[in-house]
Structure 1
Amino acid sequence: MIMRRPAGPETAPATLAPVLRDVHAVVFDTDGVITDSARVHAAAWKTAFDAFLRAHPPADPDMRRPFDEHEEYLRHVDGRSRLDGAAAFLAARGIEASPDTVRAVAADKERLFTERLREHGVDAYPGTVRLVRALRDAGVPRAAASASRHAGELLSRAGVLDLFDVLVDGAEAARLGLAGKPEPDLFLEAVRRLGAPADRAAVVEDALAGVAAGRRGGFALVVGVDRAAGADTGARLLRHGADIVVHDLAELCSGGAPK
């Protein structure tokens, strides 16, 4: 079921299909939108953070609880770079971490994620593939964007890299000095490479920081993807800037999600 932000007092809700047909380009986040790699990231973060908390327990006993790979992943880590995510979580637990400590935790997570990725791989969501192919058939340019340096490998392993005209990943973001989400730099660079203005393009995101970035970037349509991370995730995506929220991107194709 599609959730929409309430329309303004003088704006009638637009039907979804015409909105998608009118956009000149679409930028897709990678983890959790194109591929199911968000679960691998969350598991790696949990192992890294829990090990750190055991070795360096916060003074407040309430802050020593294990990392919640659903709620805390969504709030502090999802959509952000490794360093930003590590710093945000440690600060939320009241830990004044030095830059070296933040880098060490992020490096531990990177090692764990790489090991799990090489061992198990990832898959692309069928509904996303269906939508991306429909956009390609309609002649709409498509970009994949990610704060992760692994995005190209993820898309290649999932067999969908060739469905996208442009990829802007974490390595490119670092090279260009792009600010991390919730700043819109990553998405704006992607849509620039597609040759379309942001106000005629769409962003598809599953992270709170990501939908906020799409809204800040002035994109015509910000689609939130709720993979059932929590009971109120859809409402939170709307509050952070999504225009609509879907559970499966096949809902944005004619005929809806596959049975």
Structure 2
Amino acid sequence: MDLHAIKVACSSCNLRELCLPVGLNAQEMARLDHLITTRRRLRRGGMLFAAGDPFTSLYAVRSGFFKTVINTADGRDQVTGFQMAGEILGLDGIVQDKHSCSAVALEDAEVCVLPFDKLEALSREFSTLQHHVHRIMSREIVRDQGVMLLLGSMRAEERLAAFLLNLVQRLHTRGFSRSEMILRMTREEIGSYLGMKLETVSRTFSRFQDEGIIEVRQRYVRILKPEALQAIVNQGEPL
């Protein structure tokens, strides 16, 4: 891991609208720029933080992909989420001042380090920033609720369809294709996240391809019929 104490100007970052608030004036933006003075680079497989580590900062993903995992009572690693550029890592540590999960880079990645005590102090001064921090926390709560719904009420094909649609939509928001993507996570990691066995994940991918809904070549996925994926998801939604 490479730790750089270098200036990272939020005001000129092309991810600013995704991970930081719009509406700050020039003076407020300068104060925020001063807060975020460090970025951290990780190689694929590198750990940004581990469960049990003291909580000191939030991390805005600048590039790359991450997974968050918890270690279960029987010693397995359970994937709890996948994070990409413009998203925030580390919110799990706020409650107990230590991290409850580990964050691992799925490819070479870079994050901006946001010292939480300074961010908290600044957000008390700027209501726009405070509101944005609250929105980020709320978004994580909603996402967790969505995962609970996914795991609790959907069949395997519905889970995978919802996962693919969510992933491609998040990537499209960041300027990528509306229908094509390279999966940064393995089939096994997808299964861990969705509560599915590896064999079930592979079988469901094959079924979607056989039905002409998606095209799959190793980690490359092209969604040919998004409406068909959405119809599969809709079957599992409660009345």
- The TM tier, using the shorter chain, reads under 0.3
Q: Give me the TM-score of the superposition, normalised by structure 1.
A: 0.26
- The structure, 1 or 2, with the larger RCO (C-alpha pairs under 8 Å, 6+ apart) is 1
The structure in which a higher percent of residues are helix is: 1
